[in-house]
């Protein structure tokens, strides 16, 4: 059920009583999906978006709708679109796996420093895109322009806010209304991917281990075989609703689709060229499919997988 909450960053969807998916809007400051769960005596937020303006709207929505204070935040993995909004929640417990914390400390400070030092360059790039839109009518660029404006707006006050609590494999978040299982099976999409599972309600927040109706993104650390192994273990759980890291709300069938997507890419990685199979042909950003295939071929050449 959609919940009316007007902003440029996300749409709200009530999954069950006290359980909400927060899906990013194209061109906003969220970029990735998030969610929140009313545990009864506090609210846990899963992921915090790419900008603090989006995360402030997320916290406002969570606390107004549940009439509870956010007490806990979970970072699914270290990628910026899931953690750069952490500063909105610096007064709460922020939890991640130990590996995720290590990677945040290692990777983000120089990256953020570099972006802050080149705000003027970003402004000039945005101006060049707007000029292209005016001159050639490439209105498909408008969402990218809107997104870059959100990034530019966030940078002057952006602070890297790190998790203040870590876990190794599994942790239970116990509330007066319900409990939630926080767990990781290692790295597949990133160095370490954490999920939040509500067994009684059969709901899972998967982070970027699942993309629904859109191509997943591969990174240097992405290991598609480990990713498939993780998802096959997740398939053993009782699941009705999947809140993915990107894309629409899903079901257990979308986890299976993700497994088949990864298996498909692994099976054709040695081919010189490939066409997108019909099942994935209507997904947006078709160029990502070919980028993923190229990434796999490079990993093979480097003996990484």
Rounded-to-integer distance, Cα 205 and Cα 182, Å: 10
Beta strands in 32-105 (DSSP E): 34-38, 43-46, 70-74, 93-97
177-202: pLDDT as tens digits? 999 999 999 999 999 999 999 999 99
- Retrieve residue 159's tokens: 């602070």
- Retrieve residue 297's tokens: 């071929």
Query: pTM (2 decimals)?
Result: 0.94
Task: Check: CB of residue 96 under 8 Å from CB of residue 194.
Answer: yes
Of 78, 111, 80, 73, give the one whose Cα is nearest residue 94: 73
Of 214, 90, 105, give the one whose Cα is nearest residue 164: 90
Give the phi and the psi of residue 111 in degrees, each rounded to 5.
-65, -45
Task: Check: CB of residue 197 under 8 Å from CB of residue 181.
Answer: yes
Q: What CATH topology corresponds to 1-184?
A: Metallo-beta-lactamase; Chain A (3.60.15)
DSSP 100: H
What are the 10-residue block averages of pLDDT along the chain, 305 residues in total? 78 97 97 98 97 98 96 98 98 98 98 97 96 84 95 97 97 96 97 98 98 96 97 98 98 98 88 80 92 84 48
Task: Check: CB of residue 49 under 8 Å from CB of residue 34.
Answer: yes
Task: Check: CB of residue 93 under 8 Å from CB of residue 133.
Answer: no
- Retrieve residue 259's tokens: 């497994």
Task: Check: CB of residue 154 under 8 Å from CB of residue 53.
Answer: yes
């Amino acid at each position: 059920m959609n919940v009316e909450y007007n902003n440029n960053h996300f749409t709200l969807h009530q999954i069950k009583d006290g359980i909400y998916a927060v899906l990013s809007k194209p061109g906003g400051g969220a970029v990735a999906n998030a969610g929140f769960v009313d545990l009864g005596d506090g609210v846990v937020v899963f992921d915090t978006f790419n900008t603090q303006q989006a995360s402030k709207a997320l916290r406002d929505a969570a606390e107004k709708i549940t009439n509870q204070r956010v007490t806990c935040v979970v970072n699914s993995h270290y990628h910026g679109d899931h953690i750069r909004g952490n500063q909105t929640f610096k007064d709460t417990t922020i939890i991640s796996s130990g590996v995720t914390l290590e990677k945040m400390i290692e990777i983000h400070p120089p990256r953020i420093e570099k972006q802050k030092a080149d705000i003027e360059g970003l402004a000039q790039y945005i101006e060049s895109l707007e000029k292209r839109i005016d001159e050639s009518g490439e209105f498909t660029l408008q969402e990218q322009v809107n997104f870059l404006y959100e990034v530019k707006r966030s940078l002057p006050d952006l602070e890297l806010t790190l998790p203040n609590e870590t876990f190794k494999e599994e942790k239970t978040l116990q509330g007066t209304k319900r409990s939630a299982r926080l767990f990781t099976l290692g790295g597949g999409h990133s160095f370490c991917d954490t999920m939040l599972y509500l067994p009684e309600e059969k709901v899972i927040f998967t982070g970027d281990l699942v993309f629904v109706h859109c191509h997943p993104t591969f990174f240097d650390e992405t290991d598609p075989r480990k990713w498939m192994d993780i998802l096959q273990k997740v398939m053993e759980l009782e699941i009705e609703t999947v809140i993915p890291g990107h894309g629409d709300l899903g079901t257990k069938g979308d986890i299976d689709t993700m497994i088949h997507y990864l298996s498909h890419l692994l099976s054709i990685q040695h081919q010189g060229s490939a066409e997108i199979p019909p099942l994935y042909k209507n997904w947006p950003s078709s160029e990502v499919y070919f980028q993923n295939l190229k990434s796999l071929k490079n990993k093979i050449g480097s003996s990484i997988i």
